[in-house]
Amino acid sequence: MFRAACICLALVLPAGCVPLEHIPAEFCCDDFADEWLPENGLPAVEIGRALRINGPSTFPFSHSVGFDPCPQGLGRLTLTNTSLRDVLWEVSSPSVQLNILPDGGLLPSGGSVAVEVSFNCSSTMDLLSFVEIGIVNRDAFVIVERIPVEGRID
């Protein structure tokens, strides 16, 4: 139930587009590459740079109100910057029922960070959502991976 994904970011290309499965083609075209700079002003991420994600491929869980702990841990993701440059990353979810800590930051070259995902017990409704891992840019958030979260609350 665990997987390791290595997603290459081809954002500055010497010639033409190289469409990648997890990155829309418009993010790798020559005419857009000059716009691709992280919020903190670091140089654009170049060909062959990658963010490796280790952890579960889904976060299924069940929670019994009054019996299970609150918050209830669901799992851990480990993000590793395998590029030669710093990467500004973010992990988020549209659900207010999930806590994600830490939820973003600047990851130095070769650095890793452990991200904890937990159910915060803020609702007694079943949960069907996702966690997104992405690279932050001055003008966009590029989703690298989306992990489903499904919880039965009783």
* Count of domains observed in the chain: 1
Residues spanned by the domain of 32: 2-153
Q: Which pair of tokens denotes residue 39?
A: 């919020």
Question: Which residue type sits at 150?
Answer: E
Taking the C-alpha atoms of residue 135 and residue 9, their distance in angstroms, rounded to an integer, is 10
Instruction: For residue range 40-93, list pLDDT tens digits in order.
Output: 433 334 323 457 889 999 999 999 999 999 999 999 999 998 888 888 899 999
What tokens appear for 71 in the block?
């918050």
Q: What predicted TM-score, i.e. pTM, was given to this entire model?
A: 0.68
Q: What is the CATH number of the domain that holds 22?
A: 2.60.40.10
Q: How confident is the model at residue 137 (pLDDT cuts 50, 70, 90)?
A: low
- Contact between 103 and 80 under an 8 Å Cβ cutoff? The reply is no
3-state secondary structure at position 100? strand
- Cα gap 136→81, rounded to integer Å: 14
Chain segment 84-110, per-residue pLDDT in tens: 888 889 999 999 999 999 999 999 989
